[in-house]
Amino acid sequence: MPLPIQPDETLPSYVRRNLLLYWAEPKAEIFEDLRTRHVIKTAEVRRLAAAIGWPGCYGFNRLVHNHTLNAAFHVIKSDWDIAYSGTQYLSEGERFSEWDASFCPECVREDLKAHGFSYWRRYGASKESVCPKHNAVLLRECPFCGQLFTRIDHDLDVMWRTCGGRHLAEAEVVPNHDPLALKRAEVYQRLCSSPHIISGLHAAKVLLDKATDLSSQLSGEERTKMQAIALTMSDLVERFADVPSPKLESRAGTITAVFIHAVVTLYDGYDDFERELTSLVGSARCTDSVWSSYRIPDTRYIHFVEEDYLQGLGVWSSPRIVLDGVVVQLGWHRPPSKLYPCCNSPLSLHNGPTQRNTTVAASPSIPKIGLANARAIGIIK
């Protein structure tokens, strides 16, 4: 069993820490395989989750949500969406962790006091420049030799090996004096660590109403800014209220960016936005409730597979929505002529009365685990 992964620890940090500080043998092969890798992709995330003991799609999404920056792209969802990371579980080219990093000296000192060691946090791999906890500038260069924290210059091992005998905890704190930078970092961190799924439709409505209300109280350039946000949110309200489409997933990064910009511009802090959203929506889905599901890649239609680990089976479904008071089940009109090597993958809809027979690759196998293990892991509460 590898070392426990720490809160917000990046995947590269976890890999390097196991290679340097885990002395039991043998190590899981995935750590050796990633010793010289510059990028961690989908297949490696699946293997890391399995090494920790988190099965299937659930384990993959648990790692993504708690330890990568991709989490910010997955918590804002349509109400019909039950797949945390969409089609990424089946993708092979998606990048989940780069090896570039930065650190907050206060976080490192707190880690040493609490755990006896420190590690690299995911916020340090983002484009944000401020620690959301301590309002300190993140250091991207070694304070002792001036090298960047990358695979080419100063690799991540310096966190444990030190630099010329000096530990990163000895670095001086550089206070941040940019309140907007702190606010952006706080909002980004709150999205990444959100315990609940954020309804894209309701969040857009809250931000639209807020921008419209502020616009009426302002003038000149500030009013123009509010009107621009209101226009963007009005467009998102229409998109989230529309018929389910796979195209929303491809715009997740853009949607997250405009939401962060709107929250930072319209509110004093994330808590204020969250209170208004909660007053409109009430209860919200827990984030871990959608970790066991993924979406089948299809450019036109939406099909989900939810992994049932007690049975070792995949449960297929398509969204049910209400249009003009009528419940509509979205799916295919006639089965196409396709050959599937297993019964877990849904059929995709294609135009035309006849189709050439094709073989579709099987989805990842679904492990079957006992009820006690499922509860111990957290899959079943």
* Per-residue pLDDT at 355 exceeds 50: no
pLDDT digits (tens, 9 = 90+) for 225-249: 999 999 999 999 999 988 777 777 7
* Per-residue pLDDT at 354 exceeds 70: no
Q: Look at the pTM and tell me if it is higher than 0.85.
A: yes
**Residue with the larger pLDDT of the pair 381 and 332:** 381
Rounded-to-integer distance, Cα 201 and Cα 219, Å: 28
Rounded-to-integer distance, Cα 264 and Cα 116, Å: 36
Rounded-to-integer distance, Cα 119 and Cα 107, Å: 9
Q: Which residues contact 215 (CB under 8 A, 6 or more apart)?
A: 223, 226, 227, 230
* Per-residue pLDDT at 151 exceeds 60: yes
pLDDT digits (tens, 9 = 90+) for 269-328: 999 999 999 999 988 999 999 999 999 987 777 889 999 999 999 999 888 665 555 555
- ∠ CA 51-91-39, rounded to 5°: 60
Q: What is the mean pLDDT of residues 117-128?
A: 91
- What pLDDT does 324 receive? 54
Contact indicator for 40, 95 with CB cutoff of 8 Å: yes
Rounded-to-integer distance, Cα 195 and Cα 279, Å: 17
3-state class (DSSP) for residue 279: helix
Residue 46 tokens, joined: 């699946």
Average pLDDT, the chain: 88
Lowest mean pLDDT, pick from 20-24, 106-110, 180-184: 20-24
To which residue do tokens 């089965």 refer? 335
- What pLDDT does 100 receive? 82
To which residue do tokens 């389910």 refer? 244
- What pLDDT does 294 receive? 96
3-state class (DSSP) for residue 245: coil
